[in-house]
Structure 1
Amino acid sequence: MSLRKLPEIKAFKALSNMEWQPRTDVVDRWNAGIHAATSDEASISILGEIGGGDYGDGVTSKRIAGALRSIGERDVRVDINSPGGDFFEGVAIYNMLREHKAKVTVNVLGLAASAASVIAMAGDEIKVAKTGFLMVHNAWGITIGNRHDMQAAAAMMEPFDRAMRDLYAERSGSKAEDVEAWMDAETFFTGEDAVKTGLADGYLSDAEIEQDKDSGKRASAIAKIEASMAAQGLSRRERRSLLAELQGGLTYRLLTSCRALTSSPRFAATPKN
């Protein structure tokens, strides 16, 4: 088990008509080019969207489980720069790290938002860049359906929010009502604020972080396009198909599809939580 007695987050049942996606405003603040200056066989990189399933290239619990098996019962370092994503994948990764039998050090290199901030809480020691951010908010997803589907989605998300509230409160030593206020306000904690509130233990040095500006700009741009398409109601399969065509050179078709979203009744009326 972890050196800290961190709370387990129980498994939840997902709705079939609901998708988890990083928020557009969070993706806008994510610098995808930030990464660790060094890595070794006992380090794990969580750089990018949490989840992604069969159609994405995000960070999945399956990949993290494989990495932990390879590391074995040794101290592990987890480097995070992620805008969040799939809540269920985030919870699964958090629980895996929580159950690791040696010390877990989490380094927040750039951003740990939403599901990624849940993962970060699994650290026995959490270090954050002074220029980095931890972001917390209530569960956020995209649901398609009628009013009954909307009500079911709202009811389903309540225990998620309670689980996150209790985790942040336990990790920081803060009162539950204060944490609820953070989540309601969709709070971005600077590195300094994260340490002051107890969500992190200390700072990373500049020498521990590097930035690849060219690849980072490309990855951030793709993430912003996908987040915008998701907010308009496109399924993950549709988004990934269009992005694959873009990367294959069919730019015009993607741009035409994006412009059509703003006038399409199907997507303009899509409700989301």
Structure 2
Amino acid sequence: MSLRPLPEISASRLPDVCAFHLDDGAIDRYEALAPKAATDNSISILDVIGQDFLSGEGVTSKRIAAALRSIGEQDVVVNINSPGGDFFEGVAIYNMLRQHPAKVTVKVLGLAASAASVIAMAGDEVQIGKAGFMMVHNAWVVAIGNRHDLAAASKEMEPFDTAMATLYAERADVERPKAEQWMDAETWFNGEQAVEVGLADAFLPGDAATTRDGPKQMRAEMKAENAFIRAKMPRSERRSLIGELKGTQDAAPDAMQDAGALAAGLQGLMDTLKT
């Protein structure tokens, strides 16, 4: 019992004329506005690949496997902004995504470097921001010992680099030595360069909406460029041919309406090279 002389509160029910009853229609309208469970089947890779030794954080293949099981046999979007990390974890995640039975769309929001660029190659469609970046390089390792140990370590790294070069080459539709050159030089591609060389298919929707030539034309130009490269055509000559084909279309008020014609023209050039 309280030591203070507090008044008693009667808990008897109010008569119906005074009581408040929520209208059934109001309940229905409220439930219609209530937050719904997220239906976006997305996976975010926004950290180092593998478990970071210092922080204990990172994106692991175990986590991605759990996310894919939760999504099931549905389309999935993979958002990437990662500096890379553990090569084997990256390969495992890549293979999981490639085995996913539905469409996988990869979106490079900021950076897909090193092992994260390997993961990005798993997309059936790879989108990248115009201000985004991809970086490819040879695998790293920490080695210690005498010259024979170091030579052996170098030899052991070759299969890893070969696997990555093959992957990049197939994605970009270039010869493997070209991809090996990118890796040897630790090459950074901005969004436009990634689309141009074929490591990405298109820009993110927000950037694609402002692309003057349109994605169809850009993709056709990229394919023509790769065909000219395989034909060993000098860079200056390649650019000149594509520029001549575009002609006065660049000066048109809206190049989008001419994108189909240009794409057809570029395809014709590619067919000519094959004959």
Does the TM-score normalized on the shorter chain lie above 0.5?
yes
- Distance change >3 Å, CA 207–CA 198, structure 1 → 2: closer
Q: Which residue of 2 aligns with 1:140?
A: 140
Q: Secondary structure at the match of 1:141?
A: coil
Larger RCO of the pair (alpha carbons < 8 Å, separation 6+): 1
For 2:83 and 2:39, locate their aligned partners in 1 and report how far apart those are by CA, in whole Å. 24
Cα distance, 1:62–1:53 mapped onto 2, change above 3 Å: farther
Q: CA RMSD in A?
A: 1.9
- 1:44 partner amino acid: I
Q: Which residue of 2 aligns with 1:58?
A: 58
Give yes or no for contact 1:106–1:120 (8 Å, CA) kept in 2.
yes
1:158-204 CA distance string (max 9 Å, x none): 00010001000111101111111111111000100000111001001
Establish whether residue 182 from structure 1 lines up as the match of residue 219 from structure 2: no
Provide the C-alpha distance between the structure 2 equivalents of 1:148 and 1:40, rounded to a whole number of angstroms.
Answer: 55
Structure-to-structure mapping, 1:1-273, within 5 angstroms: 41-52=40-51, 56-206=56-206
Determine which structure has more spread, i.e. the larger CA radius of gyration.
2
Q: Deviations over 1:13-32 (max 9, x none)?
A: xxxxxxxxxxxxxxxxxxxx
Amino acid at match of 2:79: D
TM-score (norm 2): 0.59
Look up the equivalent residue of 2:49 and give its one-letter code: I
State the distance in 2 between where 1:101 and 1:59 align: 22
CA distance in 2, matches of 1:207, 1:176: 30
TM (normalized to structure 1)? 0.59
Q: How far, CA to CA, are the matches of 1:40 and 1:130 in structure 2?
A: 27
- Shift of residue 44, structure 1, vs aligned partner: 0.3
Measure the CA separation in 2 of the matches of 1:113 and 1:172.
16
What is the distance in 1 between the residues matched to 2:168 and 2:77? 20
Which runs of structure 1 show a deviation greater than 4 angstroms over 4 or more consecutive aligned residues?
none
Q: Given that residues 130 and 207 in structure 2 are in contact (C-alpha distance below 8 angstroms), is that contact kept between their aligned partners in structure 1? A: no
Note the residue ranges of structure 2 that are not aligned, 5 or more in a row. 1-37, 209-275
Structure with the higher strand share, 1 or 2: 1
